[in-house]
Amino acid sequence: MTVSRVLNGTGRVSPAMRATIQQAAEELGYRPHLAARGMRSRKSMMVGTLVQNEPHNKLTHPLTWAFILGINDGLAHSSYTMALVRLTDVLEDGGLQAPVFKGHLLDGLIAVNAIPSEAESRLEDLVPRCVWLDANVWRPINCIRRDEAHAGALATKALIDAGYRRLLCVRGHGPAKHFSLDLRLQAIHQEAQSAGLEVEEFAPPFVFRWPNEGWDAVYKFVDALTPETGVIVENIYAADMLSRACTALGKRPGHDFALVCCDAHMGGGLEWPQLSHVSFKRYDMGLLAAKMMLSILEEPDTACPSQLIQGEWMAGETLQPNKKQQ
């Protein structure tokens, strides 16, 4: 018992006793057996991170990676270890097939990105505590999200301030998968309206699948670009593909049209410092989510208010002042 107290740093033990025990532990190379501890204390000392995965789309959005690294680093030097959990494991068979959930393996779970609403309540049954990171779940506590409305407004305002009167918004096909896209789109239209402008929406096939769907759509879109046109795109990947398509046809962002992007973060492989963009530091948000989880687990009585994280506007050469306007 005294040994347990010394090794856990709990309770009062005489300094002499403490020294003796610590020395013995060191000499014997003592390593605690976490499974035994977990069994008795009913805590696994494991936090899961839930990642979206789909059977037909193996590669989850690469921006998720920065979240994961942030969460993992936020747990460093704590007593917790991070497990990666698949969304499909929650959906299949009510989550009771996967050992993580079936076996009481997690003390808490951080759900990242869009989580189907069916999974939301299941998760809370399966895991004691949940934190929602950039997810479609938004409550007064335990959530962290990018402020997408702010990002959309920033990008739109930058174009308007630079003198662009013709605004195009490039978006993906079909209904938005992530909550953020709708929020942002709304803010873009609103910001334009308050300046007396309209935003045209484009869902050109080539942004994501160029040139699989033929060159016609590409020509048409690129032809419509003028030096007075400001284009707003979703993220750095979309910006990159669009820029490449335009450049191939002789129109360069920052020269022949203006390009701004609502969601980017340099340092994650794809570097494009010249891109005018709103920067979201996903790594830092991951850190924050981990700290929130630690607080929830270690001080269950202290509520953690949700946080809306604003992106930072990063001016770049793809947005030049509109010369005709000035």
Measuring CA to CA, how many Å separate 15 from each of 1, 2, 112, 142, 176?
Answer: 16, 12, 46, 41, 62
Contact characters 159-198, its own copies, x per CB under 8 A:
----------------------------------------
Among candidates 112, 58, 124, which has minimal Cα distance to 85? 112
- 7 lines the binding site for DNA (CB under 7 A): yes
DSSP string, 243-279: HHHHHHTT--BTTTBEEEEEEE-TTSS---TTSEEEE
Q: Which is nearer to DNA, 41 or 310 (CB)?
A: 41
7 binds its own copies (CB under 8 A): no
Residue 272 engages its own copies in binding (rule: CB under 8 A)? yes
Residue written as token pair 């998720």: 64
19, 23, 41, 173: which one binds DNA (CB under 7 A): 41
Q: Indicate which of DNA, its own copies, none lies near residue 156 (CB less than 5 to 8 Å, by partner kind).
A: none
Determine if 61 is a binding residue for its own copies (CB under 8 A): yes
94 binds, among its own copies, DNA, none (CB under 5 to 8 A by kind): none
Partners of 166 in the β-ladder: 229
Please name the residue that has the structure tokens 């856990």: 8
Give yes or no for residue 27 binding DNA (CB under 7 A). no
Whether residue 49 contacts residue 87, with contact meaning beta carbons closer than 8 Å, is answered with: no
> Which amino acid is residue 44, in one-letter code?
S
Asked if residue 68 binds its own copies (CB under 8 A), the reply is yes
Buried b (16+ CB within 10 A) or exposed e, 268-296: eeeeeeebbbbbbbbbebbbbbbbbbbeb
Binding site for its own copies (CB under 8 A): 31-39, 44-46, 49, 51, 53, 58-66, 68-70, 72-73, 76, 79-86, 88-89, 96, 98-100, 102-105, 208, 210-212, 237, 240-241, 243-244, 247-248, 252, 267-274, 283
Binding site for DNA (CB under 7 A): 1-2, 4-5, 7-8, 11-14, 16-18, 30-33, 36-37, 39-41
